[in-house]
Amino acid sequence: MSLTVSLQTATSGLRAAQAGLSAVSDNIANVNTPGYVRKAIVQQQLVVDGRGAGVEVSSVKRVTDQYLQAASLTAGSDSNRYGIYSQYLDNAQSLFGDPSGSDYFFNLPDQISADFASSANDPSSTLLRSQALNSVSNFLDQANRINTQVTALGVTIDGKIGDDVSQVNGLLQQIDKLNADIARGKISGADATGTENIQTQLLNQLSTLMNVRVSARAQGGVDVRSTEGVVLVGNGASTLTYNRSGTTPGYITAITPGASVGPQTVTAASGEIRGLLDLRDTKLPGISDQLGEFVSRSAAALNAASNASTASPPPTTLTGRNTGLDLPTAVSNFSGTTTLAITNAAGVPQKTVALDFTAGTMSVNGGAGVAFTPATFLANLNTALGASGSASFTNGALSITAAGANGVAIDAGSAQKAGQGFSQFFGLNDIISSTGFATYDTGLTAADANGFTPGGQITLRLSTTDGNPLRDVTVAVPAAGTPAMSDLLTALNSNTTGVGLYGAFSLDPQGSLTFTGTAPQNAQLSVVSDFTQRGAGGASISQLFGLGLASRSARASSYELNPTLASAPTRLPFGTLNLGVAAGQSAITPGDGSGALALSLAGAKSQLFKAAGDLGNVQMTLTDYAAQFGGSIGRDSATAQSAADSATAVQTQADAKRQSVEGVNIDEELISLTTYQQAFSANARMIQATKDLFDVLTSLIR
C-alpha cells in the first residue's frame, strides 16, 4: 500500500469519525427537544481499483421505525377523536343539569305531577292552579333552553370543523414544500434530517386532525393519502373543502393538483374532525330529536288528560291546532264514539251531539243517528248543533263555538285515531300548544289521499354513515287522478328517481312516515330542499312527517303553555263532563278535581315513543322514558370519556415505544461518542505515522 493510499484511508476514517461525532453531539444537544429523532451516519467501504481505500459517509439518516410511526399516528388520531367528542358531549350533558339537584331537567315532569296532585286536593285554589301552570311553563322553557343551546353547540362545532379543515390545508402545503427541500438535500448529499424532523412534527399535527396514510418517497420526503387512497400530498398538495348545510350531513372533498377528475370525497375516519362530524351530524341532532320526542310525548300525555276534561264553566269556544290535514282526511279513520255538549254557565247540558265514527252517524240529544261521511262531517255537525252553536275548519284547525253565553264540553268516550282521542287529535282543549307540528302521528293510511299539490318536488340526500353523499334524488308528487299515500310512497321508493336503491319509506299504523336504509350502505337520509305543499299554504312533506334535521331538531323549541290558560288559570280543565246526570242537572260539578288528578297521573300512563336518538320504538311511561333518556346521555358521556382515556393510554404507549427507538438515549450516545473519539484518535495516529514514515523516506533521499 502506498503512503498516499494510507493517508487517504486515514483521512477518510477521520472524516467519518468527525461526522459521527457531529451526529452524536446533535443527538445529545436535542435529548429534550420534542419531536427530535436521533440520527446516525451510514458508512460504507471506499473501494478504488478493487482495493479498499478507506470509508465514506454515504448519508446521515434518522433512526425511525415505520410501523411504530404509523401506530403512533393512528393512536394520536383516535385519541383526539374521542377526546374532542367527550369534551363536547360532556358540555351537552351539563345542559340538563345536575342529576342530584332539584333543577335536573328530567325531574321536572315529576314536579308537574306533584303540583297537579296538590291542585286536585283543592281545585278552587287559584294559587295552586298557577303553581301547576308555572311548573308546566318551566318544563317547556327548560326544554327550549336546552334545545337552543344544543343547536348553538352544533353551530360552534360546525365552525370548528371549518377551522380544522383550513388548518389541514396549511399543514398539507407545508409538508409538500418540505418534500422538495428534503429531496434537494438528499440529492446534494446534505444532512436533511432537521427538515425531516420538522416534517414529522407536521405529520403528527395532521394526524390529530384526521387520520392519514403516510409512505416514504424514494427521493426523500413522504406521500400522504386519505383512508380511501386519495392523494393529499404527492406531486403537490391537495386542497380540502368542508361542504356543509344546515339540513344535511357535512362532508369533505379534495381537489388534487393535476387530477383529471373533480373534487373527490375524503373520509376522515378518525382524528378531531371525525369526532366533530360525529357530534354535528349524529349525536347532537340525536339529542335534539330525542328531547323533541320526550317533550312531544309529555305534551301529548298532558293534552290527552286535558282533552278528556273540561273547565267549569266550560269555555265558549274550543279551537284546535293545525293538524296539517284537510277536514275529510282528518276525520277519516276514527273509530269509537265521542260526545259534544253545549252547556249553560252552570254546566247544565243544553244540547248533546253524539258522534259514532264506527257507525258513521251523529245523534242529537239521544235521538236517532243521522249518517255522515268525512266529506259531509262539517255540514252535518253544524246542522246537528243548529242554533246552539257552530263548527268551522280553517288552516287545518277545527273550532267549535257555543251560542250566547253557553260553553262547549266534550266527553272523550272511546273515539280513537293514531292512538289519540277525537278532542286530542284536533287539540281542542290542549294545555300545551305548539307553533309547529306537535306530533308526526298523522293517522294517514296508504289508502288516504296524500293531499300534496301534484308536481311539487322534494330533494333528498342519501349519505353513508360517515356523512359522505351517495346520491341526491328529486321526487315529484304524483299527478294522476287523486293520488293516495300509497302512490306517494311508490314515487319516493322508486329505484330510478327515488330512494329505492338504498332503502325504503314506510307508513306505520299511527301514520308516521319513516325511512330505513338497507345493507350494506345503511344509508342515512336528509332533506336538501322541499317545495311540496299540502293544499294552499299547507305543510310540506318534511314538515308534516318530520323528515330531516331541520324539522326534528327544532321540535323541542316549538312548545308553549296555552296562552289562554296562562292568562286565566281558572280555565284549566279540572273537571269531567258527566252526561249520566238527570235532565236539568249540572254535568260539570263545581270544585271537581278529577281532571287535575288525571293531569297528575299523565306521566304514569304507558304510551308509544317513536325511535329517536339512541332509542328505538319503545312502549313505556314518561317517567321510565325520562330515566332512559337521562341515563343514556350519562352513559354516552361516560363511554366517550372511557374511549378517550383508552385512546390516550394507547397513544401514550405507542409514543413510548416509538420514543424508545427514535429518541435519544444518553448512555448509548456516550458509547457512540467514545467509539468515534477512539476512531478519530486512531485515524489521527495513522496520519501521524504516515507523515513520520514520509519524513524518514525524504531524509534518506537527501
Q: Domain ranges in the chain?
A: 3-63+664-701, 81-87+159-280, 457-545
The rounded distance, in Å, linking the Cα atoms of 484 and 62 is 72
Instruction: Name every residue whose Cβ is closer than 8 Å to that of residue 656 and which is 6 or more positions away in sequence.
Output: none
488 Cβ contact partners less than 8 Å away, ≥ 6 residues apart: 450, 452, 477, 478, 541
pTM of this structure: 0.86
- CA 524 to CA 526: how far, in whole Å? 7
Q: Using CA atoms in the order 134, 135, 141, 144, what is the torsion angle rounded to 10 degrees?
A: -150
Q: By three-state DSSP, how is residue 466 classified?
A: coil
Query: Would you give the DSSP letter of residue 315?
Result: P
Helix (H, G, I), strand (E, B) or coil at 674: helix
The Cα 77–Cα 226 span in angstroms is: 13
Q: Could you give the CA distance from residue 97 to residue 191 in angstroms, rounded to a whole number?
A: 58
Q: In what order do the strands lie in the sheet with 317-319?
A: 317-319, 397-402, 389-394
633, three cell numbers? 346521555
Q: What is the DSSP string of 168-221?
A: HHHHHHHHHHHHHHHHHHHHHT---HHHHHHHHHHHHHHHHHS--EEEE-TTSS
Which residues of the chain are under the pLDDT cut of 70?
1, 3, 17, 19-20, 23, 27, 35, 39-42, 49-50, 53, 57-65, 659, 661-663, 669, 676, 702
Please write the tens of the pLDDT for every residue from 511-534. 999 999 999 989 999 999 999 999
Distance of CA 24 to the CA centre of its chain: 52
Question: Where do we find the cell 493517508?
Answer: 7
> Who's near 546: CB < 8 A, 6+ residues apart?
437, 440, 512, 552, 555
Strands 361-364 and 432-434: unpaired
Query: Residue 469's beta-bridge partner residues?
Result: 463
Distance CA 601, CA 113 (A): 7
**Predicted pLDDT at 91:** 92
Q: Report the distance separating Cα 324 and Cα 322, nearest Å.
A: 5
| pLDDT recorded at residue 42 | 67
Burial class (CB in 10 A: 0-12, 13-18, 19+), 47: exposed
Q: Which of 612, 643, 639, 605 is nearest to 628 (CA)?
A: 612
- Separation of alpha carbons 237 and 170, rounded Å: 9
Which residues of 479-610 form beta strands (DSSP E)?
503-507, 513-517, 524-530, 559-561, 607-609
Does residue 312 contact residue 123 with C-beta atoms inside 8 Å? no
Angle at 510 between CA 504 and CA 515, to 5 degrees: 15
Cα separation of 43 and 450, whole Å? 82
What is the rounded distance in angstroms from the CA atom of residue 148 to the CA atom of residue 139? 14
- Cα separation, 18 vs 194, in Å, equals 18
Q: What is the spatial distance between Cα 353 and Cα 411, in angstroms, rounded to a whole number? A: 10
- 394 forms beta bridges with 397
Q: How far is CA 676 from CA 17, 23, 64, 312, 372, in A?
A: 5, 10, 22, 103, 107
Residue for cell digits 353513508? 464
Is the link from the previous residue into 314 a cis peptide, with omega within 30 of 0? no
Give residue 340's pLDDT: 96
pLDDT value at position 63?
Answer: 59
Nine cell digits for residue 674: 467514545
Buried residues in 191-208 as b, exposed as e (16+ CB within 10 A): bbbbbbbbbbebbbbbbb
Percent above pLDDT 70 for the chain: 94
Q: H or E segment at 624?
A: helix 622-662
pLDDT of residue 578: 93
Q: Cα–Cα distances in Å, from 134 out to 137, 142, 604?
A: 5, 12, 20
What residues have CB less than 8 Å from 504, skipping those under 6 apart? 493, 515, 516, 518
Alpha carbons within 13 A on the beta-carbon side of 277 = 27
Secondary structure of 134-149 as H, E, C letters? HHHHHHHHHHHHHHHH
The CA distance from 611 to 384, in Å, is: 42
CB contact at 8 A, 347 and 313: yes
End-to-end CA distance of the chain: 23
| DSSP bridge pairs for 240 | 254
Neighbour tally for 346: CB within 10 Å:
12
At 617-646, the pLDDT tens digits run 999 999 999 989 988 888 888 888 888 888
What is d(CA 644, CA 90) in angstroms, rounded to the nearest whole number?
A: 12
Q: How far apart are CA 612 and CA 38, in angstroms?
A: 53
In this prediction, residue 422 carries a pLDDT of: 96
**Ramachandran region, residue 546 (left: φ > 0; alpha: ψ -120 to 50; beta: rest):** left
State how far the Cα of 627 lies from the Cα of 639, in Å rounded to an integer: 18
Quick one: DSSP state of residue 695? H
Residue 294 CB: number of other CB atoms within 10 A?
25
Alpha carbon distance 208, 272 (integer Å): 6
| Angle (CA) 92 94 99, round 5° | 130
